[in-house]
Homo-oligomer: A and B are copies of this chain.
Amino acid sequence: MAGLPAIDAPRGAYRERAIVPARTALLNVDMQNGEFNAQILARARMPGTPEAPKRAFYERIDSVVIPNQARLQEAARTAGIEVIFTVLESLTQDGRDRSLDHKISGLNFPKGCWEAKVIEAVGPRGDEIVIPKTASGIFNATNIEYVLRNLGVEFLVIYGVVTDQCVESAIRDAADRGFLVTQIEDCCAAETPENHIASIESMNGHYCRTRSTDAMIAEIERLLKQRLS
C-alpha cells in the first residue's frame, strides 16, 4: 500500500485512489429490457410518439452506454473483478411487495418477466449476481450491503440508468456506508443531458470520484499488469 494518501489527505485524495481489484465490484444499475429495447428506440425515433421527447436519452443508451458497459465489464472480468447487476423486479406478480413509492409511481415489473431481465448485451455472464429491487436506492431496498460484506468488497464502481435517480441514490448510500465509489460518467444516462451533468457534478468529489470508461479500463489493465509482473 506504499504511496497511498492518508485517509484525511487534502482535497479528498484518498477518495481518488485506485481500486484494489480483489476487493472491488462493478454495480450495473437498472439496465433492463423494460427500460430500453429495440422497440422503445424505434418509437423514440418516430416523431409524435410518447418516447420521441426522450430520443436523445435512448440514443445515448444505444450508442454510448451499452458499448461502454460491455467493454468495462469485459475488462473487469479479465481482472477477476466481480460484476453485480440490479434490476427493478418485484417478488410477486401483482407487485404488492413493492415500495410505497413505486406503487404511487405505478411501476411494477412482475417476478420473472422479460422486462426485468438485464439487457443481453450487458447482462450477467456465468455465475454473476443479479439483485432485484422495488425502489430507487438499492441500499434501501435490498440486502446488498450484506452481500458486499460477504464478498469482501470495499470499492464499488457504479453506473447505469438513470444518472440522477437510481444511480445517484446508490452512490450516496454506498459512500455513507464506507465504500469507496467510482462513478463511470459515460456508462450512465439521464432523461435530459442537463439532469445527467448536474448529477455527475454533484457526486464528483463529494460522494465518489468520477472516471470515463476509457480511464477506468486503463486503471484496471494497469493494475492487472502490475499483479502479473
Chain A residues with CB under 8 Å of chain B are 7-8, 12, 14-15, 91-94, 96-101, 103-106, 127, 129-131, 134-137, 139-143, 146-147, 149-151, 164-165, 168-169, 172-173, 175-180, 195, 198-199, 202, 206-207
Contact = CB atoms under 8 A, between A and B. Distances in A.
A179 B146 CA distance: 12
A91 B134 contact: no
Contacts of A143: 141-143
B164 A101 contact: no
B140 A101 contact: no
A176 B91 contact: no
A25 B179 CA distance: 21
A56 B99 CA distance: 38
Query: How many copies altogether?
Result: 4
Contact of A94 (B98, B106, B127, B137): B127
A209 to B, nearest CB: 11
A165 B207 CA distance: 9
Contacts of A146: 99, 140-142, 177-178
A148 B14 CA distance: 21
Nearest to A179: B100
B100 A180 contact: yes
30 contacts: A8-B103, A8-B104, A12-B104, A14-B104, A15-B104, A91-B129, A91-B130, A96-B150, A97-B147, A97-B150, A99-B150, A99-B176, A100-B179, A101-B175, A101-B176, A101-B178, A134-B150, A135-B177, A136-B176, A140-B146, A140-B173, A140-B176, A142-B143, A146-B178, A149-B177, A165-B206, A169-B176, A173-B173, A198-B198, A198-B202
